[in-house]
Amino acid sequence: MTQNKIFGSLLLIAGTTIGAGMLALPIASAGLGFGTSSAIMLILWALMAYTALLMVEIHQFAPSDASLNHLAQRLLGRKGQLIANSALMFLLYALCAAYIAGGGEQVNQKLSTWLGLSLPPQAGAILFTLLIGAIVGMGTHCVDLINRGLFALKLLALLLMLALLLPQVESPHLLELPLNQGLIITAIPVIFTSFGFHGSIPSVVRYLGVEVKALRRIMLLGSALPLVIYLLWQVGSQGVLSQSQLLENQSLSSFINQLASVLHSEYLSSAISLFADLALATSFLGVSLGLFDFMASTLRREDNFSGRSLTAAITFLPPLGFALFYPQGFITALGYAAIALVILAIFLPVAMVWTQRQTRDAANMPTGYRVAGGKFTLMLATLCGIVVIAAQMFS
Ligand SMILES: N[C@@H](Cc1ccccc1)C(=O)O
């Protein structure tokens, strides 16, 4: 196993995590203040890193090409497999819906500033979906090539944005107290989704092989990197805008415009807008390709033009429908994604580890690697998952 592969896997995990959800962080945590929102971020990061380690514990006794579907079936039976597949489908649909709504807002914004067109909000969503849908329809190879290029650009735009934004921070903004503690409830699900990446764990295991030590390091570092970047992004955005200014903007494009208007730098506004566009495009490409492949294998359509068109329609029309009804539904859809993500990234890993530990102990098999904390931590993680779902239901 080369250092190169480890580095590649780290980037894969960090790259899936740092998506358009990051754009929602300052909007969703508006009114909470920097201190409270950072504390929530730390807790949710620890939760996600813990369950990623649980997945490593599960993968160690399975073939290196095992998918989530396979693991759920082996450890939890048909019912577990059904739950895993339904949660995955719901997660991918909700994320696509969020990305289309967010991307649509950005496209509309561009059309009005560049061409002076003022189109209904739905037009942007349709254009954005057609563009990304056409790329996904051309196949994995095409998505891979375009995604690599956009991904590299996204990282550059991110670094540039942070480098320009951080010097403008005014520390008094960062010390503001929460305006309303009740806002925590709306913030939790969105922050939780922004730390999600668990769908990529099987791909990393397949790529690296079942190397427990390396996998553990990758899960911890690959999720810690987004944590650092998110905290810097929060310092940047919450340090430039006051809590009440942040609270005024509940849509993506108005938040970006607001940031641009208080920052007296053309470059910085362009870097933020460029990063937002790239984050939306790469997230949507990655997630919709996942959904497309999932649908293609579930429906077993043939791989010809009519088969692919039908799969594309099933992949893109439902989330587009959502975005047409709720053009400002970016944050809302990210919140709903959290429900499915709790099932996939908390409940399933906990249930699978629980079963695996019990069967191995009962049969006196070697324990192998076990994540620290025992039953208590498994139950604590489950409780946190219930809190996230409850927060989404009541917000
Ligand atoms: N973390 C991603 C969302 C995501 C969740 C779960 C799996 C994959 C992606 C984002 O910020 O956009």
Residue pLDDT tens, the chain, 395 long: 678 888 888 888 888 899 999 999 999 998 898 999 999 999 999 999 999 999 999 999 999 989 999 999 999 999 999 999 999 999 999 999 999 999 999 999 889 888 888 888 899 999 999 999 998 888 778 888 888 888 889 989 999 999 989 988 887 888 888 877 788 999 999 999 999 998 889 989 988 999 999 999 999 999 999 999 999 999 999 998 888 888 888 888 889 888 888 887 788 888 888 999 999 999 999 899 889 988 988 887 777 788 888 899 999 999 999 999 999 899 999 999 999 999 999 999 999 999 999 999 999 999 999 999 999 999 999 999 999 999 999 98
Q: How many residues does the chain have?
A: 395
Pick the residue whose CA is nearest to atom 4 on ligand 1: 196
- Ligand 1 centroid to residue 58 C-alpha, Å: 22
- Ligand 1 centroid to residue 306 C-alpha, Å: 30
Question: Quick one: tokens of 237?
Answer: 């955005």
Q: Which atom of ligand 1 is nearest to the CA of 279?
A: 12
- Ligand 1 centroid to residue 20 C-alpha, Å: 8
Identity at 186, one-letter amino acid code: T
**Whether complex ipTM tops 0.95:** yes
Only one residue has tokens 């933020």, namely: 272
- Ligand 1 centroid to residue 190 C-alpha, Å: 10
Instruction: Determine the Cα–Cα distance for residues 342 and 190; give it in Å rounded to an integer.
Output: 12
- Ligand 1 centroid to residue 284 C-alpha, Å: 10
| Pocket-testing residue among 197, 234, 282, 336, ligand 1, by greatest number of atoms within 8 A of Cβ | 197
- Ligand 1 centroid to residue 95 C-alpha, Å: 7
Pick the residue whose CA is nearest to atom 5 on ligand 1: 196
| Pocket-testing residue among 193, 219, 225, 388, ligand 1, by greatest number of atoms within 8 A of Cβ | 193
List, in sequence order, the alpha helices (H) in 242-300: 243-248, 252-262, 266-299
We report the CATH number of the domain holding residue 374 as 1.20.1740.10
Question: Quick one: tokens of 6?
Answer: 């480890």
Q: 239 CB contacts (<8 Å, ≥6 apart)?
A: 34, 166, 168, 169, 170, 171, 173, 174
- Ligand 1 centroid to residue 114 C-alpha, Å: 30
| Pocket-testing residue among 13, 17, 191, ligand 1, by greatest number of atoms within 8 A of Cβ | 17
Which residues span the domain enclosing 365?
1-394
- Ligand 1 centroid to residue 156 C-alpha, Å: 20
Pick the residue whose CA is nearest to atom 11 on ligand 1: 21
Q: Which atom of ligand 1 is nearest to the CA of 98?
A: 12
What residues flank ligand 1, with Cβ below 6 Å? Answer: 16-17, 19-22, 95, 193-194, 196-197, 199, 283, 341
Pick the residue whose CA is nearest to atom 8 on ligand 1: 197
What are the backbone dihedrals phi and psi of residue 119, each rounded to the nearest 5 degrees, phi first? -100, 160
- Ligand 1 centroid to residue 126 C-alpha, Å: 22
298-314 burial: b if 16+ Cβ within 10 Å, else e: eeebeeeeeebeebbeb
Task: Give me the chain's average pLDDT, please.
Answer: 91
Per-residue confidence (pLDDT) for residue 258, from 0 to 100? 86
Instruction: Give the pLDDT confidence of 160-188 residue by residue, as tens digits.
Output: 999 989 988 887 888 888 877 788 999 99
- Ligand 1 centroid to residue 366 C-alpha, Å: 35
What is the model's pTM? Answer: 0.94
Q: Which atom of ligand 1 is nearest to the CA of 91?
A: 6
Q: How many domains does the chain have?
A: 1
